[in-house]
Amino acid sequence: MKTKKVTVMAMCIALAMILSYLESLVPSPGIPGVKLGLANLAVIFALYRLGWKEAVGVSLLRVLLVSLLFGHVASLMYSAAGAVLSLLGMILLRRIDKLSCVFVSVSGGVLHNLGQILMAWVLMGRNVVYYLPVLILSGTVAGVVIGVVSALLVKRTDIGERK
């Protein structure tokens, strides 16, 4: 891996961690699990500018490090479940050239929430499924916001390679 690519990847991980921490300081809107997903800016940037392997590295290292530094085992389990499902979906959708960055981001946001619901189902039972419509709506809204900002970052920077 080239030095520049490693450096950009490290910056993406650091930025994702900082954004995760800052987001944790913002009070919840009263609905558990509803967040903007600011760290996904770095993941989507990595996906579009560095490649899918680097995006996986950014996302999973961020989940692990943030959970170790600021969370607990349960937060690691929920975050990892959401991140893995989100990454798989975004990587597959990114391969379709006609799909926009915003669409990929929205799909990632919804899939992240679906992954968290699946983990909650495993840990707490199936009653959590009733919470899914709220999380789909919040994932869609957050995905649009993050997707628009990500698209601007990808378009206006020449860091990395356009994939």
The predicted-structure confidence for 31-86, as pLDDT tens digits, reads as follows 766 788 999 999 999 999 999 999 999 999 999 999 999 888 888 999 999 999 99
* 3-state SS, residue 123: helix
Closest CA to 40 of 157, 161, 148, 134: 148
Contact by Cβ (8 Å): 128, 117: yes
Question: Would you tell me how many other CB atoms lie within 10 Å of the CB of residue 17?
Answer: 20
The more confidently predicted of residues 160 and 148 is 148
For the chain, which domains are there?
3-156 (1.10.1760.20)
Kindly report whether the global pTM for this prediction surpasses the value 0.85.
Answer: yes
Contact by Cβ (8 Å): 49, 162: yes
Contact by Cβ (8 Å): 113, 13: no
106 vs 136: CA distance, rounded Å:
10
